């Protein structure tokens, strides 16, 4: 059976991330609506989904305050000239340390009552990338993902092997009960009892945290971390650590991080599809993101993206998305709903 050229090209592009020394060829691709470049830009997210507007004021402010903290850290470091790769890792670690978001400390529980954490990071300069899945004792999955990218010949590590690599790298470990939060535990009990979420917690987000950035040197980076799905079984892995599905970055196009129903984001190859529309059709970051999210079912989730020109897209088809954006032009904002 003949291999279609478009499929072959896409496959080769994704495979390139395994070679950390490869250089992203050619100049950046300018979309028809590309605006004047800014020195740096940053976007973050903390999950998307059913986020009720009746969310208690105190809890709403907790979410917004943590988003501001993470965004402020990233803003200050980018303004100081730090590399985008360092910035997205640091921003993700702030969100991983918070019990509010479904990543790191706030991870949801599996069917068996354990926590399995996934993360990915990608360097837009050369398509280098690293992913981890099924972690149980690593405090910062995004840090281990970066070590996979920089300290191993591989791209993707999972389960016991990833934990062994963490031991060899000497990363910070925690006891499994570090990830316990009463809210996440109750969500599992409700799921096991067959109860629908009735909004009593105010949120039913498709949990992930993400950060994408452009630095002063014109380099892009993307990072995403998650605890997966409540009541997930059989070692299920979603889109987050799948390069091209939940995380992607190329200096030619954009840095993208996704949040939503992982299976759908894998099926639609969402992150790379956005990049491809920018590269092959000359779309702006915003138009590309809206086009791809438009292919998904209503409520599936959203994306954040920063283009090579510093343009920012925050696009979702769910009730809300915890998100923030900042750039060298003075933009600094966090939001949950439209």
Task: Report the catalytic residues.
Answer: 208
Give every CB contact of residue 209 below 8 A, 6+ residues apart in sequence. 44, 45, 46, 47, 92, 95, 96, 101, 102, 103, 224, 225, 226, 259
Query: Could you give the CA distance from residue 246 to residue 254 in angstroms, rounded to a whole number?
Result: 13
Query: Which are the contacts of 326, defined by CB distance < 8 A and separation ≥ 6?
Result: 41, 42, 43, 71, 74, 75, 78, 332, 333
185 contact partners, CB below 8 Å, separation of at least 6: 109
**Per-residue buried b or exposed e for 285-302, using 16+ beta carbons within 10 Å of the residue's own CB:** bbbbbbebbeebeeebbb
Closest CA to 275 of 8, 5, 13: 13
Cα(284)–Cα(211) distance, rounded to whole angstroms? 19
What DSSP string runs through 252-315? TSEEEEEEE-HHHHHHTTHHHHHHHHHHHH---HHHHHHHHHTTSPTTSEEEEEEETTS-EEEE
How many residues would you count in the chain?
Answer: 338
Residue pair 104/139 in contact by the 8 Å Cβ criterion: yes
Distance CA 213, CA 186 (A): 35
Q: What is the Cα–Cα distance from 288 to 268, expressed in whole angstroms? A: 13
Q: For 163, which DSSP code? A: H
SS3 content of the chain, % helix, strand, coil (to 5): 35, 25, 40
């Amino acid at each position: 059976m003949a291999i279609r050229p478009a499929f072959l090209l896409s496959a080769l592009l994704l495979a390139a991330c395994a070679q950390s020394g490869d250089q992203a060829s050619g100049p950046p691709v300018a979309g028809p609506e590309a605006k004047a470049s800014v020195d740096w830009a940053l976007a973050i997210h903390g999950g998307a989904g059913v986020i009720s507007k009746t969310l208690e004021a105190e809890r709403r402010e907790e979410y917004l305050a943590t988003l501001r903290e993470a965004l402020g850290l990233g803003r200050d470091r980018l303004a100081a000239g730090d590399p985008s790769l360092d910035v997205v890792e640091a921003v993700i670690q702030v969100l991983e340390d918070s019990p509010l978001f479904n990543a790191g400390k706030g991870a949801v529980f599996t069917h068996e009552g354990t926590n399995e954490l996934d993360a990915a990071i990608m360097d837009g300069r050369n398509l280098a990338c690293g992913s981890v899945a099924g972690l149980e004792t690593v405090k910062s999955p995004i840090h281990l993902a970066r070590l996979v990218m920089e300290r191993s010949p591989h791209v993707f590590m999972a389960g016991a092997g990833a934990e062994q690599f963490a031991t060899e790298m000497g990363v910070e470990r925690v006891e499994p009960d570090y990830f316990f939060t009463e809210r996440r535990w109750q969500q599992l009990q409700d799921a096991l009892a067959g109860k629908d979420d009735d909004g009593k917690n105010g949120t039913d987000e498709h949990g992930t945290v993400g950060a994408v950035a452009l630095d002063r040197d014109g380099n892009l980076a993307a990072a995403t971390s998650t605890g997966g799905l409540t009541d997930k079984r059989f070692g299920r892995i979603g889109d987050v650590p799948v390069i091209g599905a939940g995380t992607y970055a190329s200096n030619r196009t954009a840095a993208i991080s996704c949040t939503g129903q992982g299976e759908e984001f894998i099926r639609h190859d969402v992150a790379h599809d956005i990049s491809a529309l920018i590269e092959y059709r000359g779309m702006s970051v915003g138009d590309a993101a809206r086009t791809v999210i438009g292919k998904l079912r209503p409520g599936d989730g959203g994306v954040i993206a920063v283009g090579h020109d510093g343009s920012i897209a925050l696009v979702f088809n769910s009730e809300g998305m915890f998100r923030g954006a900042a750039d060298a032009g003075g933009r600094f904002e966090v939001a949950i709903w439209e």
